[in-house]
Amino acid sequence: MKTKLLTAMLLLGCSSAMADTSLLVFGASHHGSCDSTRYRCDLNNSNPGLGLELAEPMVDYSLFVRGGSYRDSRRETAYFVAGGGRTEWEVSKDMVVGAGVMVGYLNGSGMHGLAGLPFVTVGGKLLQLEIGYVPEIHWKDRMMPATTTFNLRWQID
| Positive/negative CA dihedral, 154, 3, 99, 150 | negative
pLDDT at 51 exceeding the cut of 80:
yes
pLDDT digits (tens, 9 = 90+) for 69-88: 999 888 999 999 999 999 99
pLDDT at 140 exceeding the cut of 80:
no
Q: For the residues 25-54, what does the mean pLDDT come to?
A: 84
pLDDT digits (tens, 9 = 90+) for 92-101: 999 999 999 9
Task: Lowest mean pLDDT of 39-48, 134-143, 144-153, name the range.
Answer: 134-143
Burial of 35 (0-12, 13-18, 19+ CB in 10 A): exposed
* pTM exceeds 0.75 for this model: yes
Q: Which residues pair with 101 in a beta bridge?
A: 85, 118
* CB of 119 closer than 8 Å to CB of 133: yes
The values of phi and psi at residue 2, to 5°, are: -65, -45
Element housing 51 (H / E):
strand 46-55
